[in-house]
Structure 1
Amino acid sequence: MFTEENLKKVEEIKKRYPTSQAALLPVLWIAQEQFGWISEDVMRYVAELLGLPYSHVYGVVTFYTMYNKKPVGKYHIQVCTNVSCMLRGAYENLEYLEKKLGIKVGQTTPDMKFTLTEVECLGSCGTAPVVQVNDDYYEDMSKEKLEKLIEQLSRDRK
């Protein structure tokens, strides 16, 4: 169940959109912020709350990479591997992070500190290669910059 505060937010969102279907994306964002990820139970809850078929909510959640379908670590590292980033070293960065963190893409470190994900375009092609950590973008990334970033995050400092 949403907190009372989040239920109020949902009601405000519903007032701004012509249909419940149109309100789905921001309501799912609220759900992810509260629960940390979008489980099947959360999808069913949101579907019921908005009066939508579960299949529609499921389709939206599984289509967009911005929704976590399983728990993620404290730092969700998302590496863009679309064309611009790929041409400027995204796969080398991804391999470096796998080695540095000791996990593969889609995995989380045993201490639940880092999750590594490969994503499609983050929309920052002019500053490729790009890495997103939680809601923050890190542009023109190199192995050296990633090394410093991981060290800072390991000490819980951005």
Structure 2
Amino acid sequence: MNILLSLPETFKSGIVGKRAQESISLYKCLEAFLIDEPLGPEDMWYCPGCKEHRLASKKLNLWRPPEIFVVHLKSHANVKQTNRYMLYALRNHYGSMGGGHYTAFVHHGGERWYDFDDSHVRPISVDKIKTSAAYVLFHRRVVET
């Protein structure tokens, strides 16, 4: 768990509108992901050895902060480093665990965001980026000057 204490801060770019940028500790965001998570009967693992579906659990391990940081959202300490990450894309999922539809929002500088939906790409306003369909977040490290 010591790796969590050295995680960088992230900030929102353009998503919060005209408010000042807000720093958020990744410690709280990732703490729950670093424990074993039991999977339910609807997510049973297929064992290739015994050829049966079995109850299982999954676990995330984080070793060091990367250049590109991806956060996958599920339903659902003070940072001393100077690394900061900026949200530059997110993937949305509409539907159930067994199927559904995926779209993506991608930042293209300034206040410009685009909605990628199959073969269609269209501009989207910043206030539409925050959605309960967000499934995977993509962050890029910001170089401090």
Structure-1-length-normalised TM-score: 0.22
Structure-2-length-normalised TM-score: 0.23
Would you tell me which structure has more helix in proportion to its own residues? 1
Q: Give the number of the structure with larger relative contact order, counting CA–CA contacts within 8 Å between residues 6 or more apart.
A: 2
Would you tell me which structure has more strand in proportion to its own residues? 2
